[in-house]
């Protein structure tokens, strides 16, 4: 029996509670840097008192290649792994995506994780952190386009981490001095837009 998502239930949040923000680790590749970058984001984000933050690693959810027989827009999920993923993603008000750039775009595993769901992403806000030779900027551009089709609002501020400036010997994450300020500006914008958008949602 297939479970059908209730979009109204997904969007019901406690308007008095701080927004819940997921920091999504967007790579499952061995030797990835996304998990280290996500922990850096979390360490800085936890200094704030205007939102709560949690790292969500797609590697922990073991999603197969998209195996749902019905398009995600229908909200009818046949598999337990999809329902678990939907419950996790639907519990957040906004997201910070940490993604490398592979061949000019995002990892296929991240695209796959996004494609499993629809309503759970809708009317949320996203921030973007890319890393790579050129800072992951093309991956961020593609991710913005993908999420816009899911009615996700992307913030203006982005973080582009380059191997030359933000990684020692191209391997160890050592963010350059401006990056913490850039991250703070991005989180400021993210929380502000999240509160505005959440306040516009129906409460019933």
pLDDT tens column, 78-118: 999 999 999 999 999 999 999 999 999 999 999 999 999 99
In a domain, 54, yes or no: yes
Query: What's the total number of domains in the chain?
Result: 1
In a domain, 2, yes or no: no
Global confidence as pTM: 0.91
Nearest Cα to Cα of residue 159 among 128, 193, 134: 128
List, in sequence order, the alpha helices (H) in the chain.
7-10, 34-45, 80-90, 108-115, 137-148, 163-166, 178-200
Domain that holds residue 138: 20-198
In a domain, 191, yes or no: yes
CA distances from 5 to 19, 82, 84, 107, 138 (A): 22, 11, 12, 27, 32
Q: Residue-wise pLDDT tens for the chain (204 aa)?
A: 444 555 444 544 567 799 999 999 999 999 999 999 999 999 999 999 999 999 999 999 999 999 999 999 999 999 999 999 999 999 999 999 999 999 999 999 999 999 999 999 999 999 999 999 999 999 999 999 999 999 999 999 999 999 999 999 989 999 999 999 999 999 999 999 999 998 766 554
Q: What is the pLDDT of residue 1?
A: 40
In a domain, 8, yes or no: no
In a domain, 4, yes or no: no
* CATH, residue 145: 3.40.50.360
In a domain, 116, yes or no: yes
In a domain, 193, yes or no: yes
Identify whether the C-beta of residue 107 lies closer than 8 Å to the C-beta of residue 36. no
In a domain, 65, yes or no: yes
- Both tokens of 76, joined, read 């009818």
């Amino acid at each position: 029996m297939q479970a059908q998502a209730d979009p109204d239930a997904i969007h019901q949040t406690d308007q008095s509670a701080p927004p819940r923000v997921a920091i999504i680790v967007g790579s499952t590749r061995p030797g990835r840097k996304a998990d280290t970058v996500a922990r850096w984001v979390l360490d800085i984000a936890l200094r704030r008192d205007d939102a709560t933050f949690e790292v969500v690693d797609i590697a922990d959810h073991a999603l197969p290649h998209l195996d749902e027989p019905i398009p995600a827009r229908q909200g009818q999920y046949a598999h337990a792994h999809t329902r678990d993923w939907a419950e996790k993603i639907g519990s957040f008000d906004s997201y910070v995506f940490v993604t490398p750039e592979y061949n000019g775009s995002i990892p296929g595993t991240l695209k796959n994780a996004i494609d499993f769901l629809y309503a759970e992403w809708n009317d949320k806000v996203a921030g973007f952190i890319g890393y790579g030779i050129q800072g992951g900027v093309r991956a961020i551009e593609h991710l913005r386009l993908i999420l816009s089709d899911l009615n996700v609002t992307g913030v203006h501020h982005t973080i582009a981490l380059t191997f030359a400036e933000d990684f020692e010997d191209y391997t160890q994450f050592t963010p350059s001095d401006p990056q913490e300020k850039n991250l703070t500006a991005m989180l400021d914008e993210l929380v502000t837009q999240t509160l505005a958008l959440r306040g516009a949602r129906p409460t019933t």
